[in-house]
């Protein structure tokens, strides 16, 4: 599907759904492969809708903003306020955002893009407003401070890249999903679209894989898979788990539950991956089971 065909499909969809104010991601998924080619040609839904001359929702519009522009927005807002912006400063802002977006965006976009507002602020040059002095962070010649401060985000992105590459090796057309819908990658094979949420685990640490309840509930379906990237010094292993299996783990208590998350404790015992007393090796590297 070419760029022009994507635009034409969007216009046809909008004409068919003229009773709706905006085209949603759910609407996009009703057209085979359209969401994949939107990501491939435009990267974000808001950009594609703008190219088609169609209105976009607040979420789609905000997601079309570049990371660089979001950071520049924070700089401008900080210069206007005289201090680093807080959540309520972004909420109350009625002017500064207009330089970067037609529609006002929520502070939560910084959580999606940078793992939080504070992390985004760390990426702009830190200034101590009271003393008017630049805060100097000493860096070791043998360290990458940004990596160590944001290690989990780096490893999460690396896991997504690993999975995207593996999917392509196995004949899928795969692309990242930049819109925060609880899923990370979509892929097409034999005219069928699949969706993936990627989780990584460092086997040297005893931390669980966590899945937020909200993302699990809104992303479910037979075409959804969870891929757990298990990291060790020797290699990277991939557990490919269908959505309904994870749902069974939750239902039977194999996955622990707290207020906001489901926690999955995977261990490697005698060379086998285990969830409590259940062996998971039947899901190991089973790319051919995605169908």
The residues that bridge with 178 in the sheet, in sequence order, are none
Phi, psi of 59, rounded to the nearest 5 degrees: -65, -50
> Could you tell me the pTM of the whole model?
0.53
Q: What confidence score (pLDDT) does residue 137 get?
A: 40
pLDDT in tens, 30-64: 888 888 888 788 766 777 887 888 776 555 555 55
Q: Which domain holds residue 17?
A: 3-63
Name the residue with tokens 């925060």: 180
Whether residues 105 and 216 share a domain: the answer is no
Q: What confidence score (pLDDT) does residue 249 get?
A: 93
Q: Answer whether residue 143 is part of any domain.
A: no
Whether residues 224 and 268 share a domain: the answer is yes
Residue 47 tokens read as: 């950009």
Average pLDDT for runs of 10 along the chain of length 291: 89 84 77 83 75 68 66 88 85 82 71 77 62 42 46 74 91 79 84 90 85 80 88 84 92 88 90 91 93 88
Which of 63, 83, 115 lies at the terminal end of a domain, its last residue? 63
- For residues 163 and 196, give the distance between their C-alpha atoms in angstroms, rounded to a whole number: 9
Which of these, 210, 209, 220, 213, lies nearest to 259 by C-alpha position?
Answer: 213
Q: What confidence score (pLDDT) does residue 202 get?
A: 84
Whether residues 285 and 162 share a domain: the answer is yes
Whether residues 130 and 158 share a domain: the answer is no
Q: How many CB atoms lie within 10 A of CB 34?
A: 20
Whether residues 121 and 224 share a domain: the answer is no
Whether residues 157 and 281 share a domain: the answer is yes
Q: What confidence score (pLDDT) does residue 56 get?
A: 64
Q: Answer whether residue 145 is part of any domain.
A: no
Q: What confidence score (pLDDT) does residue 188 get?
A: 92
Whether residues 177 and 275 share a domain: the answer is yes
Whether residues 105 and 219 share a domain: the answer is no
CB 201 within 8 A of CB 280: no
Q: What confidence score (pLDDT) does residue 132 get?
A: 45
Total domains in the chain come to 3
Which of these, 19, 102, 15, 12, lies nearest to 57 by C-alpha position?
Answer: 102
Whether residues 167 and 222 share a domain: the answer is yes
Whether residues 59 and 101 share a domain: the answer is no
Whether residues 205 and 269 share a domain: the answer is yes
CB 197 within 8 A of CB 239: no
- For residues 192 and 106, give the distance between their C-alpha atoms in angstroms, rounded to a whole number: 34
Whether residues 172 and 270 share a domain: the answer is yes
Q: Answer whether residue 266 is part of any domain.
A: yes
């Amino acid at each position: 599907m070419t760029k022009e065909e994507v635009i034409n499909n969007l216009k046809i969809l909008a004409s068919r759904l003229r009773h709706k104010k905006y085209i949603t991601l759910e609407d996009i998924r009703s057209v085979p492969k359209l969401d994949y080619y939107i990501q491939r040609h435009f990267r974000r839904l808001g950009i594609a809708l703008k190219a088609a001359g169609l209105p976009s929702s607040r979420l789609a519009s905000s997601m079309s903003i570049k990371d660089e522009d979001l950071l520049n927005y924070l700089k401008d807002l900080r210069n206007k306020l005289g201090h680093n912006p807080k959540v309520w400063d972004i909420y109350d802002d009625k002017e500064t955002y207009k330089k970067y977006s037609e529609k006002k965006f929520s502070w939560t976009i910084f959580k999606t893009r940078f793992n939080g507002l504070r992390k985004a602020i760390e990426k702009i040059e830190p200034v101590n407003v009271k003393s008017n002095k630049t805060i100097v962070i000493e860096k070791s010649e043998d360290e990458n401070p940004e990596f160590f401060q944001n290690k989990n985000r780096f490893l999460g992105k690396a896991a997504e890249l690993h999975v995207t590459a593996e999917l392509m090796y196995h004949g899928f057309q795969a692309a990242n999903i930049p819109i925060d819908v609880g899923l990370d990658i979509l892929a097409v094979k034999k005219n069928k679209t699949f969706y993936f949420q990627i989780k990584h685990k460092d086997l040297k640490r005893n931390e669980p894989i966590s899945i937020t309840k909200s993302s699990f509930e809104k992303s479910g379906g037979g075409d959804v898979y969870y891929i757990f990237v298990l990291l060790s010094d020797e290699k990277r292993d991939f557990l490919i788990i269908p959505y309904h299996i994870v749902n069974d783990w939750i239902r039977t208590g194999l996955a622990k539950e707290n207020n906001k998350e489901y926690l999955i404790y995977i261990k490697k015992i005698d060379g086998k991956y285990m969830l409590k007393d259940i062996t998971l090796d039947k899901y190991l590297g089973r790319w051919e089971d995605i169908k």
